[in-house]
Structure 1
Amino acid sequence: WCSCRIERGRKIERERSDSLSLYTISSSIFIIIIIILVVIVIVYTMNNSTEGYIWKRKTRDMDQTHLFFSPDTTVTNNNNNNNNNRSKKKIIQSPSNKAKRYALVTYQELPEYMKDNEFILNYYRANWPLKQALFSIVRWHNETLNVWTHLIGFVLFFGLTVANLMHVPQVADFLSIFIRSFPMRTDHTNVSHNSKDFFLGTTKLIDLKQITSSSEMGTAMWPFYVFLAGSMFCLLSSSICHLFSCHSHHLNLFLLRIDYVGITVMIITSFFPPIYYIFQCDTHWQFIYLGGITLMGTFTILTLLSPSLSTAKFRPFRALLFMAMGLFGIVPAIHGLVVNWSEPRRNATLAYESVMALSYMIGTIFYVSRIPERWRPGWFDLAGHSHQIFHVFVILGALAHYGAALVFLEYRNKVGCGSSV
């Protein structure tokens, strides 16, 4: 009886601790969202107030001189009081000149270094100051959704990282919510045996409450966080690139290279959780596979740092490099399946990794083919063009790999090195 009361008390204490941790992480994420919204409102207000001040000032000057002008011309006052017939010009700048300077332009008006997709015809920013480029995060242009898709993805992975660091399974294990929503029936069902194993395995095995610290279980967590850090770096660098690449030719080239480095880093770090945990008890295979993908990634980064390879002409070549790095994963994947064929977690990891591979493949197809704007140039300038779709599939693929990483981590925590690797 006493032991039951003690166990019940411990259970209540754990539930309180989990609830407190969940409240803490939820509050943190909520505060981050509020801060982002406040910054957006401030930037938007400053932008509008600045333009309003310029308009009022120019309007006052116009009233004082009693002159009319158009946005495309300057007004010149001739002083006829001078006997030498000299004319004195007084130029009044149009209140719309500033707005015109930062107006969105067409593809034909772009400088050559910014011409990347001829099927997106309008709503470009060109040679904007950094301040105006920052303000444009709350304006509609053809990069708005490119910025926000990966910025939201960055916030999402940042939240998942904090949730895992604070040991909050209710947040970190959110992917299993979708799996658990499926009704599980064991009688007279037409669901295949493999599908049933996948659902049951996922709902039972992906449970972060069973994943303790590395000091207790002897399983290192750093490969898992390396993947999360690589994903956040890729998503954030992509957002920054799309936001500020309109500033100048020099900054455009620099940010494009950082963007490509971010993609490469994300691919490299995605290999760390599966290879490290599958081959944890066979370290020479860890070294071979992780060393191989790191060398491939280093070669890709050095290749893409060339300015000539950052142009639109080499878009298929860049996609080919990224796909080659992804295809390298087939070798350790087959190896892992062979030595763990009887492992019940196999179906869950295969499902997650298949979703990841399919997402990245579909996204790459959109990226290279420029569909759908190729079919209807100008129709998808603001929303729905290929690069935005590519961004969405990148996030979906990263989330699927996050789910697989949870399975790999849980597997190694439970199995240890007493079983096959």
Structure 2
Amino acid sequence: MPRVSFAPPSLCFTFLPLLDRLLPSLPPTVRDVDVPPLFRERFILSGYRPVGLSWRCYVLSLFQIHNETLNVWSHLVAAVCVALRFMMFTILQGGGILGFRLQGPEGQGFSVDVSSLPLVLYVFSAITYLSCSAAAHLLQSHSEHAHYSLFFLDYVGVAVYQYGCALALCLYSSDTAWTQSMVGQVFLPAAALLAWISCTTCCYAKLRFRRPYPLHRKLCQVLPMGVAYLLDISPIAHRLATQSWTSNSALTLHFMQVALFLLSAFFFSCPIPERFSSGRYDIVGHSHQLFHILLSFCTLAQQEALFHDFLWRRPALVREFGQEHLLLACTSFPCLTLCCMMTALTMRRRAQAQLTKEQR
């Protein structure tokens, strides 16, 4: 009987060393006592990546099992879903986003459609915050300086998303009664200010307080974001309170995204369930992972609701708000982004100076 050989072909011996160089074996995860206090999370005892490895190791840890894996993948997948859903929406609706038309009486061509700019900025803000969050959780273990820098970038993404939501909700999801109210008149400037304050206070709290974190560190993060959310969601709250949900399918989606956001805020604020069983939920199931997953679904539900509202409001948007007002509102978006980035860079320099002083 002829022998059957299971030896790999010689070609494999050629590519295996190359593959090993490109994808080096990553060091195993370690316990909390093996990393500096800055990188530890309460009640999470294992699954930490060693500090001080090469950047390539942390990039490749995307495919490793550790206590940040679900944090990274939940927002990374959500960012891809947001982008793909937006592309599908523009195609299924016959184009028209920013004036690019795939069909219609005007034929093909390109022109700037001001009424769609807030929707584009919203999608950009959602992808920005999801991508910044995924990058921060993936790469932050490289060093203390990288940890501060990446989470400052994460807070910039959150602030940009806050204002992207406010802009879209104000222009697409509000009704006439809310728009003419006192809150509606000052909404966008107040939303921009609160988004910047949220970014600043989160950066300050990250830099100022050390573990074990005091209660006012969490309050410094949560209170400004909570106030900003109450303002940003006010046009939706008004519609949910005054309109029949059966008359508009978007309202059900808006209620869903509000419920998901409140549930995610609970898990962001409370270390549950890991508080009651330290070490059991290190890899899967701890509160920050639940926060990420719920927030991802919240973003997808909000995007879908805004698509409905965009189609509902778009025909009369320019007539109601005026082209100049829409352009001014959209121009405020990059201005806010620049202010938040400058704040984060300032905090980054302060963090670098603080780390240098501590190492002397």
Superposition TM-score, scaled by structure 2 size: 0.69
The Cα offsets for residues 270-292 of structure 1, whole Å up to 9 and x where unpaired, read as 12222113569869976621121
Could you tell me which of 349, 374, 378 is aligned with 2:250?
A: 349
**Aligned counterparts of 2:201 and 2:254: Cα–Cα separation in 1:** 28
Q: Per the alignment, in what secondary structure is the counterpart of residue 141 of structure 1?
A: coil
Q: Does the Cα contact within 8 Å between 2:258 and 2:298 map onto a contact in 1?
A: yes
**Aligned counterparts of 1:122 and 1:170: Cα–Cα separation in 2:** 51
Between stretches 273-282 and 233-242, larger displacement belongs to 273-282
**Inter-CA distance 390–310: structure 2 relative to 1 (3 Å threshold):** farther
Between stretches 272-281 and 250-259, larger displacement belongs to 272-281
Q: Per the alignment, in what secondary structure is the counterpart of residue 221 of structure 1?
A: helix
Could you tell me which of 192, 204, 222 is aligned with 1:319?
A: 222
Deviation at 1:323, TM superposition (A): 1.8
Structure number with larger C-alpha Rg? 1
**Alignment match, 1:248:** 143
**Inter-CA distance 164–309: structure 2 relative to 1 (3 Å threshold):** farther
**Alignment match, 1:298:** 196
Q: Does the Cα contact within 8 Å between 1:217 and 1:413 map onto a contact in 2?
A: no
Q: Does 1:125 align with 2:52?
A: no
Amino acid at match of 1:356: Q
Amino acid at match of 2:208: S
Q: Does the Cα contact within 8 Å between 1:273 and 1:405 map onto a contact in 2?
A: yes
**Aligned counterparts of 2:308 and 2:140: Cα–Cα separation in 1:** 38
**Aligned counterparts of 1:410 and 1:47: Cα–Cα separation in 2:** 51
Q: Does the Cα contact within 8 Å between 2:32 and 2:46 map onto a contact in 1?
A: yes
Between stretches 217-226 and 392-401, larger displacement belongs to 217-226
**Aligned counterparts of 2:118 and 2:58: Cα–Cα separation in 1:** 36
Amino acid at match of 1:121: L
Aligned-residue RMSD, C-alpha: 3.8
Structure 2: gaps of 5 or more residues: 1-15, 96-102, 322-360
Superposition TM-score, scaled by structure 1 size: 0.60
Between the aligned residues of both structures, percent identity stands at 22
Q: Does 1:223 align with 2:118?
A: yes
**Alignment match, 1:289:** 187
Q: Does the Cα contact within 8 Å between 2:115 and 2:314 map onto a contact in 1?
A: no
Higher helix share: 2
**Inter-CA distance 345–249: structure 2 relative to 1 (3 Å threshold):** same
Q: Per the alignment, in what secondary structure is the counterpart of residue 276 of structure 2?
A: coil
Deviation at 1:374, TM superposition (A): 1.1
Q: Does 1:145 align with 2:45?
A: no
**Alignment match, 1:273:** 168
Q: Does the Cα contact within 8 Å between 2:163 and 2:195 map onto a contact in 1?
A: yes
Deviation at 1:303, TM superposition (A): 2.3
Amino acid at match of 1:222: L
**Aligned counterparts of 1:389 and 1:114: Cα–Cα separation in 2:** 19
Amino acid at match of 2:300: L
Q: Does the Cα contact within 8 Å between 2:174 and 2:235 map onto a contact in 1?
A: no
Could you tell me which of 48, 59, 64 is aligned with 1:134?
A: 59
Instruction: Tell me the matched-pair count.
Output: 289
Q: Does 1:372 align with 2:296?
A: no
**Inter-CA distance 265–216: structure 2 relative to 1 (3 Å threshold):** closer
Q: Does 1:261 align with 2:261?
A: no
Amino acid at match of 1:129: S
Between stretches 218-227 and 274-283, larger displacement belongs to 274-283
Amino acid at match of 2:170: I
Larger RCO, structures 1/2 (Cα 8 Å, 6+ apart): 2
**Inter-CA distance 369–170: structure 2 relative to 1 (3 Å threshold):** farther
**Alignment match, 1:392:** 293
Deviation at 1:346, TM superposition (A): 5.5
Deviation at 1:141, TM superposition (A): 0.7
**Inter-CA distance 104–294: structure 2 relative to 1 (3 Å threshold):** same
Deviation at 1:244, TM superposition (A): 0.5
Write the mapping of 1:20-419 to structure 2, written as runs, cut at 5 A: 45-46=19-20, 50-51=24-25, 102-115=27-40, 117-127=41-51, 128-165=53-90, 167-169=91-93, 220-278=115-173, 288-306=186-204, 307-308=207-208, 312-313=213-214, 314-333=217-236, 341=242, 347-414=248-315
Deviation at 1:393, TM superposition (A): 0.7
**Inter-CA distance 216–381: structure 2 relative to 1 (3 Å threshold):** same
